[in-house]
Amino acid sequence: MKNELTLSGLKVANFSKLIDGKETQLFVLVNKSGMELTVTNFGAKIVSLLVKDKEGKMVDVVTGHDSIDDYLTSEEPYFGAICGRFGNRIAKGKFEIDGITYDKLAINNGPNSLHGGIKGFNAVVWDAVLKDTQTLELTYISPDGEEGFPGNLKTTVTYHLSDNNEVVILYNAETDKPTVLNLTNHSYFNLSGAGDPYIGDHLLTINADYYLPTDSTAIPYGPKEMVEGTPMDFRKAFEVGARINENFEQLIFGKGYDHTYILNKEKNELSFCARCSSPKTGIVMETYTTEPGVQLYTGNWMTGNLIGKKGQRYPERAALCLETQHFPDSPNKPEYPSTTLRPGEKFDSKTIFKFTTE
């Protein structure tokens, strides 16, 4: 098995390594229409995702690397990863629960803590069980105090590749002490094919009337604002690149889009989040989620320096992310939907990426 090549051209053996006393592997999921999803248990990362284009040709629509060694040294540690304990940012690396202050979070993004710290869920080896040819279950137990977060937290992430050409991601978690939790998948998508240099021509719709404006360090600073009349408005389909360079403070701060949209929905409802399509391949990706928000990130800090799969380089804005999640800095913003998880409670979340062509 280890010498086998995946349909996407990955060598399974290149993902076998001992890290922190655990073996990393590459797991391959295939559905009845030939769609292929590969995942490594290092960081629970989606490595490749093969989808049929309008001509029936298979296209890999996510960025990534050819080997575990490349992931270990990559300047982009979040390609395809599960981010946690807290995806997105916590201001100044501190928060309070029940009068207890936790202020030992890593400051790893300007003055803030990002994506769980120095060694977040993206950089640990998960225990993996291949449930069937289309389902992979990954579990990680984060010990009390890891990266400054309280409580022993057990997290399970399940990837399922459905016969309806959906990548279904289920998140479950339990804790033995009050803690904060915000889980998301950080896949970088290019529906023209990973390695295509620019996602500016992708058409994007986001089901949100409001977004969260941020300060220059990407922390939301106040109440939500309406997207109407601004380049943040994707309620109708717009090319991603049509307004990305406008003289608009929020786009200047982020070098493009890097913002949380507040989805039009009921609490915990699995509902439509976004639709994205490539004019080149005709591939359409619809996103559905139970989460209250989605972070649109347009790869503004990609450099083109690193070597990706098949020797490809990924320059600035060569991919976009639709990270379904709770809001940034929620532990310090009581007016936001709560990210506190307590003993006896169960965290459950679901996100679907559904692929079709037009």
Q: Which segments are annotated as binding site for beta-D-galactose?
A: 88-89, 186-188, 258
The structure tokens listed for 276 are: 């994205």
What is the C-alpha to C-alpha distance for residues 77 and 221, in angstroms, rounded to an integer?
A: 27
Active site residues: 186, 323
- Which string of b and e fits 94-131 if b means at least 16 CB within 10 Å? bbebeeeebeebbebbeebbbbbbeebbbbbbbebeee
DSSP secondary structure string for all residues of 282-329: -EEEEEEESSSEEEEE--TT--S-SB-GGG-B--TTS-BEEEEES-TT
- Nearest one of 316, 322, 289 to 205, comparing CA atoms: 322
* Dihedrals phi, psi of 190, to nearest 5 degrees: -135, 110
In angstroms, rounded to a whole number, what is the distance separating the alpha carbons of residues 8 and 14? 14
According to DSSP, residue 68 is labeled H
Residue 189 DSSP one-character state: B
Sign of CA dihedral 22, 23, 26, 30: negative
DSSP secondary structure letter of residue 92:
G
- The stretches of the chain forming alpha helices (DSSP H) are 68-73, 249-254
Element housing 188 (H / E) = none
Which residue type sits at 294? Answer: V
Rounded CA separation 79/194 (Å): 12
